[in-house]
Amino acid sequence: MKIWNGIAIAAAALPLLFSGAYADDSAKLKTLVVAVPSDPVSLEPGTNKAEPIGSEIILNVFDTLVAWTAPDFKVLEGRLAKSWTVSSDGKVFDFTLREGVKFQDGTAFDAAAVKFSLERTKATNPYVKATFDLIKEITVVSPTELKITLSGSYPAFLSILAQPQAGIVSPAAVAKYGDKFAAHPVGTGPFAFKSAQADTNVVLEANPDYFRGAPKLSQIIYRVIPDASTRRLELEGGGVDIVQQQGQLSAIAAEDIEALKANKDVKVLESSSQIIRQLEFNNSKTDGPFANVKAREAITHAIDYDGLLKGVFGGTAERVYGPLPSNNWAFNPKMKDLAPKYDPALAKKLLAEAGVNPSSLNLKLYSFQGPLWGAVATFVQANLADIGINATIEQTEFPALRTLQTSGQFDVALDGRQPWYNDPDAHITIGYLSSLANTAMTFRMPADKQLDDLILKAQQTPDLEARKQLYFTIQEEIAKRVPGAYLFSPKLIVFTRSNVEGLVVNSAPPLNEYWSVYKK
Amino acid sequence: MASFIIRRLIALIPVMFIVLVIVFSLVRIIPGDPATTLLGPGATQQQIDALRAQLNLNEPVVLQFYHYVVGLFMGDFGYSLKTGQPVAAEILARLPATIELSVLAMIAAIIVGIPIGVLSATRPNSFFDHVTRVVSLLGVSMPAFLLALVLQLVFANYLGWLPVSGRFSPYMPVETMTGFAILDGLLTHNFQGALGAVQHLILPTAVLAAFLAATLGRFVRNTMLDVMGEDFIRTAKAKGLRRHDIVLNHGLRNSLLPAVTIIGLKFAEMLGGAILTETIFAWPGIGRYMFEAIKNRDYPVIQGTTLVFALLFVLTSILVDVLYSVLDPRVRRKMG
């Protein structure tokens, strides 16, 4: 009988377990809980490799010299820099810095700290080698004046300075923690790093002395929740305040978005991204079915772009008209008319003109893994079948796909680009410059002096308006060569609890600053 | 007995070495290198090459192996390619979460599974037997993610009794001392935090225990039925022993022997991390850690976690053998 007594007592005590062990509501209102799928890789500029979670935390803990102005992110504004000038040859940048700014450890911010930080990143961070190696010299003119000299003209350099790798670190903290700085990051940002537990959370605390004013929140908790359906349940139940679409290759199923839109406790913030997804041809190939431009053109007319946006994405993606997304500052509006339209009859006609017999083709359509890529590939496959082309889908694990792609063992593949800094250079140079064809997942453009010269000139022209015109021409020139079919640009989607206010979603790259966020 | 254990422990060394050789070569055979995976599709060859150099991936594999083994003897498991943190410390940080979950699930499964098996076996084909057989069939065949989702929906989102996931409430964090959340809550006098940790444990424990309890229940029922048909049970009955003496002391004790093997192996498996359960419940355990490492081609982490699993597996099987000798006097004599 004793056992039964014990069980009875335990059963009577059970409700205690279910009673709330939670903090009071005022503390909850001051705390923002953000769900992320995994731990950040690195929490400091010196080792950041543009991995999204760590990058976002860095931009909330550290400040950069300049940043993109919300809400459309087309113009740079000063952050730790009050103002700046660029020399006419585009090589020398003179910055006037903000005065009276303090790091979170109480030490003062000055030009020497900027020099220290940028030189540190240059020395330790291989990810930004190509751009940071352009820095010839950084001179501290006075505590509030700094001169950066580049070895060549590179106007996108300012955009690089807005990146997390260019965050300004506290030299005193680096001296104090040495190798362990990533575990104790100290910057000037609106939130200071407090603690991190492996695979559990990262906690940031408000910096009351922040130079733009203390943030409205008192803390941010990043909760690591790897499973997408758990993240959704947590959001619906109020266990987290914000869930973002994270990761370069993942997206949320359209059904999930619909369900969350119908939930009155949840807000769905959608904004255009600079991500482009395309079907690309192996443009280096001189033989094969797509060596003839007419055959490539045929494929671009075979795809039902609007059907794809509606059917697969339910309105959560937008049309892409050419090599640049329409929200890029250098987007050429003419591209909207130049972009191919869905016309299967024309597609068949063009194939015939190119001398390609569609039934003789047996295409392998390579793609990334995941249900979303699978759905896109299936849609494209059906479109190709409509003009008589038989394609088999090969969804391949990323590293293996990269090897196939960079070694040119394909005819058509689904691919895409998520620029890691906000500049047309991030799409155009890497994607279409022929000398870079084998070095990354690119369009594998063949040597083409006219286009190559244009790309390099646009990359190096200091004058913004002249640059823009060059990129206008480049977009038209690339469109003429039909290197691929631009399929769609997924929107950035952030889900928040309905009481979260003041969040501005950054379009490129998708990193949110929480300084202005508060809970009602 | 002592010499038996020592012999088994010595045999552990070649086993671990073979495991190490296999995993070391296997991770390098699977396509995709860590630098490429870490940097993502946008990276250029230049960026990848620079990272490869920084991570010492250009060294010949044999040399990498040699350095790794030498390091192991000094307790150095290497550094994670992804985070740059020492692997041994990262494993130790996650082990308590896994142990907490698996020990509790084990206890729950034993408390539920064995009595059900015994009761079913003593009343075969009764209503109770039929119900438990259907339920345990469900328990064995229902995928963990489905059960987890149902429990999360019902107990967390619909009833609001329990949290959806995590190890403690984000608003009521428990400071890490030992790594065991409940214990840490109590040690730091954070009783609300400890209570929160208990609440967070219930659903993942239930999911993990369900499969094991069902397996155990079915297994104990079947072996009990066999044992209860043996001659010595009839003799015991003829001697006029009380029914529950026969069931518990003669029937159960003899059926437990094979059950111990199952419990041991399943327990070792759980210590190796319940990847699905840990992932769904955002439980910061070792299974999830290894899974992420495989996705990222984080060689030192895959090697380190595999070694730890292998060690736990072998140690558990030694423990099972020792338990055998406690339960079965014949085995005890053989071990000498």
The predicted model scores a pTM of: 0.87
- Measured between CB atoms, which of B53, B173, B288 is closest to A226? B288
Residue A85 Cα, gap to closest chain B Cα (Å) = 30
- Measured between CB atoms, which of B42, B176, B280 is closest to A230? B280
Q: Do B41 and A41 touch (CB under 8 A)?
A: no
Does A1 have pLDDT greater than 50? no
- Measured between CB atoms, which of A16, A249, A400 is closest to B31? A400
Mean pLDDT of chain A: 89
> For residue B258, what are the CA distances in angstroms to A135, B255, B313, B321?
70, 6, 17, 11
Q: Looking at beta carbons, which residues of chain B come within 8 Å of A49?
A: 38-39, 51
**SS3 call for B255:** helix
Does A9 have pLDDT greater than 70? no
- DSSP class of residue B152 equals I
DSSP element (H, E) containing B262: helix B253-271
DSSP string for A445-489:
PPP-HHHHHHHHHHHH---HHHHHHHHHHHHHHHHHH--EEEEEE
- Measured between CB atoms, which of A229, A239, A420 is closest to B42? A420
**SS3 call for A114:** helix
Task: Give residue A247's pLDDT.
Answer: 47
Find residues 108-147 of chain B whose CB sits inside 8 Å of chain A.
Answer: none
**Percent residues over pLDDT 70 in chain A:** 93
Reported as a single tens digit per residue, the pLDDT across A452-478 is: 999 999 999 988 899 999 999 999 999
Task: Give residue A107's pLDDT.
Answer: 96
B122: pLDDT confidence band, cut at 50, 70 and 90? Answer: confident
Task: Give residue B228's pLDDT.
Answer: 84
Closest residue in B to A399 (Cα) is B32
- Measured between CB atoms, which of B46, B149, B280 is closest to A439? B46
Tokens of B123: 């009343």
Distance CA B77, CA B89 (A): 9
Residue A408 Cα, gap to closest chain B Cα (Å) = 14
Q: Do B90 and A198 touch (CB under 8 A)?
A: yes
Q: Looking at beta carbons, which residues of chain B come within 8 Å of A406?
A: 45
Q: Looking at beta carbons, which residues of chain B come within 8 Å of A239?
A: 163-166, 170
Closest residue in A to B199 (Cα) is A17
- Measured between CB atoms, which of B90, B192, B289 is closest to A21? B192
Residue A226 Cα, gap to closest chain B Cα (Å) = 6
User: Which residue has better confidence, A511 or A50?
Assistant: A50
Reported as a single tens digit per residue, the pLDDT across A203-258 is: 999 999 999 999 999 999 999 998 888 998 999 999 999 998 654 445 566 677 88
Region B156-183 average pLDDT: 87
Distance CA A343, CA B297 (A): 44
Distance CA B279, CA B97 (A): 13
Closest residue in A to B191 (Cα) is A21
Cis, peptide link before residue B60, omega less than 30° from 0: no
- Measured between CB atoms, which of A42, A127, A233 is closest to B47? A127
Q: Do B172 and A398 touch (CB under 8 A)?
A: no
Type of residue found at A102:
K
B229: pLDDT confidence band, cut at 50, 70 and 90? Answer: confident
Does B200 have pLDDT greater than 50? yes
User: Which residue has better confidence, A21 or B154?
Assistant: B154
Find residues 302-321 of chain B whose CB sits inside 8 Å of chain A.
Answer: none
User: Across A98-112, B203-217, B296-310, which has the greatest mean pLDDT?
Assistant: A98-112
DSSP string for A246-282:
-SSS----HHHHHHHHT-TTEEEEEE--S-EEEEEE-
**Percent residues over pLDDT 90 in chain B:** 21
DSSP string for B301-335:
HHHHHHHHHHHHHHHHHHHHHHHHHHH-HHHHHHH
Give which of A499, A329, A484 is closest to A422, Cα–Cα: A329
Distance CA A513, CA A401 (A): 34
- Tracing tokens 């609300």 back to the chain, one arrives at B192
Region A131-141 average pLDDT: 94
Q: B336 touching A, CB under 8 A?
A: no
Reported as a single tens digit per residue, the pLDDT across A74-93 is: 889 999 999 999 998 889 99
Mutation target to probe the B interface, by most B beta carbons within 10 A, among A402, A404, A429, A433 is: A402
Q: Looking at beta carbons, which residues of chain A come within 8 Å of B46?
A: 129-130, 439
Residue A433 Cα, gap to closest chain B Cα (Å) = 13
Q: Looking at beta carbons, which residues of chain B come within 8 Å of A228?
A: none
Residue B121 Cα, gap to closest chain A Cα (Å) = 22
**Percent residues over pLDDT 90 in chain A:** 64
Q: Do B289 and A199 touch (CB under 8 A)?
A: yes
Find residues 37-66 of chain B whose CB sits inside 8 Å of chain A.
Answer: 37-47, 50-51, 53-54
Distance CA B156, CA B134 (A): 26
The number of C-beta contacts closer than 8 angstroms across A and B is: 167
For B238, counting Cβ atoms within 10 Å of its Cβ (0-12 exposed, 13-18 middle, 19+ buried), the class is exposed
Distance CA B185, CA B199 (A): 13
Type of residue found at A195:
S
Q: Do A199 and B164 touch (CB under 8 A)?
A: no
Type of residue found at A148:
I
Q: Do B164 and A439 touch (CB under 8 A)?
A: no
Find residues 200-219 of chain B whose CB sits inside 8 Å of chain A.
Answer: 202
Give which of A456, A491, A482, A507 is closest to A322, Cα–Cα: A482
Q: Do B50 and A28 touch (CB under 8 A)?
A: no
- Measured between CB atoms, which of B45, B167, B199 is closest to A21? B199
Task: Give residue B273's pLDDT.
Answer: 63
Distance CA A344, CA A386 (A): 7
Q: Do A230 and B164 touch (CB under 8 A)?
A: yes
Closest residue in B to A128 (Cα) is B47
Q: B322 touching A, CB under 8 A?
A: no
Please, what are the domains in chain B? 2-73 (no CATH), 91-335 (1.10.3720.10)
Task: Give residue A372's pLDDT.
Answer: 84
Does A13 have pLDDT greater than 80? no
DSSP element (H, E) containing A138: strand A135-142
Q: Do A224 and B39 touch (CB under 8 A)?
A: no
Q: What are phi and psi of A244, to 5 degrees?
A: -110, 155
